[in-house]
Amino acid sequence: MDDDSLRRLPKVELHVHLEGSFDVDRIVELADEAGEELPANPQSILRPKSLSELLARLDWWCGLIRTPEQAVRQAYDFAARLGADGVAYAEVIVNPTHWRGLRREALLEAVSAGFDQAARDGHCDAWLLVSLLRSQSADEALEVVEALAARPPSRLVGLSIDGNEAATGPTGHRFAPAFALAGALGLGRTAHAGESSGPEGIVSALDDLGVSRIDHGVRCVEDRDLMGRLATEGVALNVCLTSNVELLYGSIDGHPLATLVDGGIAVTINTDDPVTLDVTLTSELALAQSVCRWGLQGAIAATETAIRASFASASKASDLHKRLSEFAGWTLPDRT
């Protein structure tokens, strides 16, 4: 399996944050426009030492976006970057709490507009996952979903939740009403769990929030019964290898991807914060190949899993299956 084949593969990304789409040049440009000093030297600004430091940095550089035009450009440029790597479809997480320079409604409309323009120009077809922050209250979370119901952004496909569970403690019960409303509205539901939390965070996401997939989820390997449940129920884990190595394992040799795959769990490969981590979906799939000894067939299978786990419309999923079949040179079953 060579990088060119992986790059041409019409890939699907389900766990990627717009907050992680800022490169150093863009941060410096925005800081200059806002008249703000950098919190660190440019060489180290994208290399936080912990999850809490990363979240603080995200708050700062996302807060440099002060106009809808800046947000449109950020969304457009990110979709173009994904498209250049051969990503055909992406569900991009946007947590409005990080973007303090714009009202939530203006931000989400601008991001949708940027994604629309990028899709028209032939770049990645990017859609929007609005994310709650674990430190928000139940009332704040419910207000977010009610606002989405009243005026949904054009590219909205689902609701997410992220943040440091190790710092906030269990949050599933607090956000259950917001996620229940999202489900009633027909939105897809996903949650970060099993990274800063252990297996108990995954169980809460399934039972309290009603999610159909988990972002990260890698710490399910600490509970064999939970692994069996995930495999039996077909819950997909949106795994981010480099991100997990940076924040959890220290080395790819310690990553449990092969254990997850061998356990029959549906796994997709993703980048998390690609610019911050200096990775692409192509490079992450190549890394997965080195762990699981996949050939190109393995990358195709992981992409098919991602299509099935996506919140794409039936027609969009069918189109993605067709593109994947054409790339593979045979007819894959349409399991949408």
Burial class (CB in 10 A: 0-12, 13-18, 19+), 331: exposed
Specify the higher pLDDT residue, 74 or 330. Answer: 74
Instruction: Please count the other Cβ atoms lying within 10 Å of the Cβ belonging to residue 267.
Output: 25
Instruction: For residue 222, indicate whether it is catalytic.
Output: no
What's the whole-number mean pLDDT along residues 46-70? 86
DSSP string, 42-75: TTTTT--SSHHHHHHHHHHHHTT--SHHHHHHHH
The confidence score (pLDDT) of residue 194 equals 94
* Joined tokens for residue 62: 């996302």
Q: CA 140, 132, 113 angle in degrees (round to 5)?
A: 110
pLDDT band at residue 114 using 50, 70 and 90 as cut-offs: very high
pLDDT band at residue 332 using 50, 70 and 90 as cut-offs: very low
pLDDT band at residue 1 using 50, 70 and 90 as cut-offs: low
Residue 335 lies in a domain: no
* Joined tokens for residue 247: 């924040």
Residue 334 lies in a domain: no
Tokens 């949708």 correspond to 112
The confidence score (pLDDT) of residue 54 equals 76
What's the whole-number mean pLDDT along residues 122-129? 98
- Per the structure, how many domains does the chain have? 1
> Per DSSP, what are the bridge partners of residue 193?
216
pTM for the whole structure: 0.94
Q: Say whether pLDDT at 335 is over 80.
A: no
Residue 333 lies in a domain: no
> Per DSSP, what are the bridge partners of residue 100?
none
Q: Say whether pLDDT at 336 is over 70.
A: no
Residue 268 lies in a domain: yes
What's the whole-number mean pLDDT along residues 192-202? 93
Residue 228 lies in a domain: yes
Task: Give the chain's mean pLDDT.
Answer: 93
Residue 155 lies in a domain: yes
* Joined tokens for residue 30: 């925005």
Between CA 54 and CA 93 the distance in angstroms is 16
Classify 15 as helix, strand or coil: strand
What's the whole-number mean pLDDT along residues 132-145? 96
What's the whole-number mean pLDDT along residues 86-114? 97
* Joined tokens for residue 69: 């035009």
Q: Which domain holds residue 140?
A: 3-328
The confidence score (pLDDT) of residue 162 equals 93
The confidence score (pLDDT) of residue 49 equals 73
Q: What is the CATH number of the domain that holds 125?
A: 3.20.20.140
Residue 226 lies in a domain: yes
Residue pair 181/149 in contact (Cβ under 8 Å)? The answer is yes
Considering the candidates 19, 109, 165, 195, report the single residue annotated as catalytic. Answer: 195
Instruction: Please count the other Cβ atoms lying within 10 Å of the Cβ belonging to residue 26.
Output: 17
Residue pair 194/165 in contact (Cβ under 8 Å)? The answer is no
Residue 65 lies in a domain: yes
Radius of gyration of the chain (CA): 19
What's the whole-number mean pLDDT along residues 157-162? 97
* Joined tokens for residue 300: 């195709």
Q: What is the pLDDT of residues 291-304, one digit of tens each?
A: 999 989 999 999 99
